[in-house]
Structure 1
Amino acid sequence: MPAADPEERREQLTAAPKADPGDAAPRVEVTEADEEVTRIDVADSAAVRPGKPGPRRGE
């Protein structure tokens, strides 16, 4: 699957009324070693990361 055009992606992710330019920041890093191996990592700069959530506010 070809990667989305970066400009179209940014435009789509910032089109909402309360959108912030940071909403279009890359969240994953993709590395292709060869045709059969693709590694996908969460970017260090991602605001939200997968895993066990911390305590909720007010708890």
Structure 2
Amino acid sequence: MADSAVTADEKRHDQLTTAPKSTEADAEPRIEVSKHDGVTRVDIRDDASFRPGAGAEGRSDS
């Protein structure tokens, strides 16, 4: 299969699932993109396994 025939979604899936301990869950969508009146909005999905942020080390509630 030629590279031009591979979609961006297929490339992303391959990249996220080729590591030795990776699973299909690693390739699940993490963002939602919507466009309204010429404005593009990118939101982190509520069900995303990995979310941006400070992480456990940066939390002040521990």
Shared fold, TM over 0.5: yes
Q: CA RMSD in A?
A: 2.4
Moved over 4 A (4+): 51-55
Instruction: Name which one, 1 or 2, has greater alpha-carbon Rg.
Output: 2
Number of positions where the alignment pairs a residue of Structure 1 with one of Structure 2: 53
Q: TM-score, normalised to structure 2's length?
A: 0.65
1:30 aligned residue: 33
**Whose helix fraction is larger, Structure 1's or Structure 2's?**
2
Unaligned runs of 5+ in 1: none
1:43 aligned residue: 45
